[in-house]
Homo-oligomer: A and B are copies of this chain.
């Protein structure tokens, strides 16, 4: 059905990109902690950043850069220190990072974008960064996506990566993406980060519009614990190296590209939700029947974010009452006589009233979606979510949201990593 196919290669699948990930000594663990994505030519750049009032230095840096110039060559990301709540010295550290990389790449500083993840209140370990950058640039490779994906994680259990290919004007066009995030953890490890590369030629304004819409339908529609980070960043490059005709306004080709961009973002977003702290399953909430899509997404997010719904799913309890209560408090008006709730294939509530259903079978449905990660990580299933389908009326609005269940391990992870 989809107008594209999955390919390998992550952010280096699109033409004209290289990536790298190394251990620079920023993380105390000695795991990879410095990542770089480079486009061989200047690429159109768009970004979506945290709406928090408490922002990391890199977020302010990227916002200013992208306001001044809608193109870029490189994205540098460090893991270990969030460089948030670090004051003016944090700002200078961010600027120095960009300058060091620009010199090493022999390009203008204004073509560098930055991201950080790690402990809030900690500055980047600049000595380690300074000695790491030459090594990082030397490691750049056209197959470097996995190394980059592995160097942006903090306490994620799996790396997140995807690449899709379609055709535009009979030529192949690719979008690749990597992401990290599983809550705000260990003890202040924060951040949802996602980097997307594309080799289509798109105008800057259109690319930003597409990215903002795709973010709403993906990263802005997932919830692990409701806590927006200080460092959340989604950055997307489009470098035109597919040699396809430039897309400058909406139309069939733009829609095709945007749909594929949305699919890439949704894959990464679901991977983040499934990797939520302590999660044993992915939950997809589908809402229909609202006046518009925004309202549907709002209800979907409220249900996906409800601690009570999440606890019930962890308990394998087909508890429609909590789903109904969450839908009711989402801030979207509807008639409760129109409320319908399905869990997988089980119709639990119709016309606002409970139905008889096979409780054991519904509980078994919840069990099959739960898969503990194997002890050797790096794999996750996204194809068997718990599906909660809610209809609230006859409107044409639809929306989806993704989340995960709430387990003992969530509390354990967040309570026991005492500083």
* A→B interface (CB under 8 Å): 50-55, 84-87, 119-121, 183-184, 187-188, 190, 225-230, 305-308, 311-312, 314-322, 324-330, 332-337, 339, 349, 351-354, 359, 363, 406-408, 410-412, 414-419
Task: List, in ascending order, chain B residues with CB within 8 A of A321's CB.
Answer: 84-85, 119-121, 187-188, 190
Other-chain residue from B50, B319, B335 in contact with A187 (beta carbon distance below 8 A): B319
Known: A119-B321, A311-B411. A329 touches B419 (CB 8 A): no
Other-chain residue from B184, B307, B328 in contact with A230 (beta carbon distance below 8 A): B328
Residue contact B55 to A328, C-beta cutoff 8 Å:
yes
* Most chain B Cβ neighbours within 10 Å, of A183, A315, A333, A417: A315
Q: Which residue of B lies closest to A341 (CB)?
A: B85
Residue contact A226 to B85, C-beta cutoff 8 Å:
no
Known: A85-B354, A315-B415, A317-B187. A228 touches B329 (CB 8 A): yes
Residue contact B411 to A411, C-beta cutoff 8 Å:
yes
Interface of A, helix, strand, loop or mixed by DSSP: loop
A411 to B279, CA, bound (A): 13
Task: List, in ascending order, chain B residues with CB within 8 A of A184's CB.
Answer: 308, 322, 325
Task: List, in ascending order, chain B residues with CB within 8 A of A311's CB.
Answer: 410-411, 414-415
Task: List, in ascending order, chain B residues with CB within 8 A of A334's CB.
Answer: 53
* Copies of the chain in the assembly: 2
Known: A316-B418, A336-B85. A327 touches B54 (CB 8 A): yes
Not counting A54-B339, A121-B320, a sample of 12 additional A-B residue pairs whose C-beta atoms are within 8 angstroms of each other reads: A52-B329, A54-B324, A119-B321, A120-B321, A190-B321, A227-B306, A307-B307, A314-B411, A317-B417, A319-B419, A359-B419, A408-B412
Task: List, in ascending order, chain B residues with CB within 8 A of A419's CB.
Answer: 317-319, 359
Residue contact A228 to B325, C-beta cutoff 8 Å:
yes
* Most chain B Cβ neighbours within 10 Å, of A333, A352, A415: A415
Known: A354-B121, A406-B411, A411-B408. A54 touches B325 (CB 8 A): yes
Other-chain residue from B308, B329, B337 in contact with A414 (beta carbon distance below 8 A): B308
Residue contact A329 to B418, C-beta cutoff 8 Å:
no
**Distance of A258 from chain B, by nearest CB (Å):** 28
* Most chain B Cβ neighbours within 10 Å, of A55, A337, A418: A418
Task: List, in ascending order, chain B residues with CB within 8 A of A330's CB.
Answer: 53
A324 to B231, CA, bound (A): 13
Residue contact B417 to A315, C-beta cutoff 8 Å:
yes
Task: List, in ascending order, chain B residues with CB within 8 A of A351's CB.
Answer: 87
**Distance of A318 from chain B, by nearest CB (Å):** 8
A348 to B415, CA, bound (A): 19
**Distance of A142 from chain B, by nearest CB (Å):** 37
**Distance of A130 from chain B, by nearest CB (Å):** 23
A406 to B415, CA, bound (A): 9
A-B contact pairs, 21 of them (CB 8 A): A53-B333, A54-B339, A84-B321, A87-B353, A183-B308, A184-B322, A187-B319, A188-B319, A190-B325, A226-B305, A227-B325, A230-B328, A311-B411, A311-B414, A311-B415, A315-B414, A315-B416, A363-B418, A406-B411, A407-B411, A407-B415
* Most chain B Cβ neighbours within 10 Å, of A54, A55, A333: A54
A312 to B417, CA, bound (A): 9
Other-chain residue from B87, B230, B314, B352 in contact with A325 (beta carbon distance below 8 A): B230
**Distance of A157 from chain B, by nearest CB (Å):** 18
A349 to B373, CA, bound (A): 38
Residue contact B86 to A327, C-beta cutoff 8 Å:
no
Task: List, in ascending order, chain B residues with CB within 8 A of A312's CB.
Answer: 187, 414-415
Q: Which residue of B lies closest to A351 (CB)?
A: B87
